[in-house]
Amino acid sequence: MTFEEIYSSIKKQEYAPIYFLMGEESFYIDKITDYILENALPQAERDFNQTVFYGKDADIANIMDTARRFPMMSTRQLVVVKEAQQLKNIELLDTYIKNPLKSTILVINYKYKSLDKRKAFTKNVAQYGILFESKKIYENQLPDWISKYTSSLKLKIDTKASILLSEFLGNDLSKISNELDKLSINIPQGNTITADDIEKNIGISKDFNNFELQNALGKKDVVKANQIINYFSTNEKNNPIYVTIALLHSYFSKILKFHFLKNKTNDKITASALGVNPFFVKDYKSAARLYNPKKLVSIINLLREYDLKSKGIGNVSSKNGDLLKELIFKTLH
């Protein structure tokens, strides 16, 4: 089942006996679990009918014994196992999985990894309960995800603000949602979140950030690129060189890949091949006209060299700010 299907059913109080929630992205796992914890039982029934285990401190036998217990003065009980990836011999739960108690809701949080789908235990979970895999979202999917989440808060968000959030916070959906939740307190419903709102409320500069640096380099705008690098040099803590190098490596690698695409006329196909939002395809086309494949290979090698230097390999005394200035100078010339 999808997250939307599961969330829709639990909102209708239609609960399955088992929820095995696994995967690298913890946001959806926490969202489902938190909703069940807050809504499956009335507050008055939780003392006797709600049990939360933590994988590191729990054992399978105790979990199964608790799950097999009948509820007290209630139609159901709730058993939640958090951090279940730390449980030893989790497959021993198979005995209960194949014969769950209908009056028990067993929720198992198996974060940051997934079960082997070829194994009998995983197949049994899918057969007798609900098996949900929460996969990491790709970089090119983030703007759409941010837009949808913002819409759920009865707000809108412009493209630049969305990019700033995703660049600053990466693809950690929990962090992104937390920041959007905070913004929703200060911005009236129906309004559009802008880059100015991001800068004012979250502290991300709308003019001096890695996305703007990428744009400046893509246009070979020497003045703008140097302004950003100078800002980074005086704010190294908030603009670590390893993040900048990693993002630039990804950016220039995509420009190089663009050169060798067979179909460059269809923006949707191009965006899919590059792993970017179609909105940005025009920027990659423009940058590809300024950087030929030979120059791009040279830049990518430079980025690797300066990544090592930033870690002290082949660099005795240069500060990271100075290294970044050298790197950008060589990139543009």
> Which pLDDT band, with edges at 50, 70 and 90, does 28 fall under?
very high
pLDDT of residue 202: 84
Q: Which tokens go with 131?
A: 């098996």
Q: Are 75 and 40 in contact (CB under 8 A)?
A: no
pLDDT of residue 235: 84
> Which pLDDT band, with edges at 50, 70 and 90, does 316 fall under?
low
> Which pLDDT band, with edges at 50, 70 and 90, does 295 fall under?
very high
DSSP string for 168-187: HHTT-HHHHHHHHHHHHHHS
- CA–CA–CA angle 220, 223, 228 (5° rounding): 95
Q: Residue 204's Cα: distance from chain center in Å?
A: 18
DSSP string for 47-61: HHHEEEEETTT--HH
- Please return the burial class of 24, using the count of CB atoms within 10 Å of its CB with bins 0-12, 13-18 and 19+: middle
Nearest to 251 by CA among 275, 226, 234, 224: 275
What is the largest distance, in Å, between two alpha-carbon atoms of the chain? 76
Residue 133 backbone dihedrals phi, psi, to 5 degrees: -110, 125
As a whole number of angstroms, the distance between CA 146 and CA 193 comes to 11
Q: Centre a 10 Å sphere on the Cβ of residue 102 and count the other Cβ atoms it contains.
A: 9
Identify the H or E element spanning 159.
Answer: helix 159-169
Give per-residue pLDDT as tens, 47-57: 999 999 999 99
Residue 71 DSSP class: P
Give per-residue pLDDT as tens, 171-203: 889 989 999 999 999 899 999 999 899 888 887
As a whole number of angstroms, the distance between CA 162 and CA 185 comes to 18
- CA–CA–CA angle 181, 176, 174 (5° rounding): 95
Lowest-confidence segment of 80-84, 133-137, 140-144, 149-153 by average pLDDT:
140-144
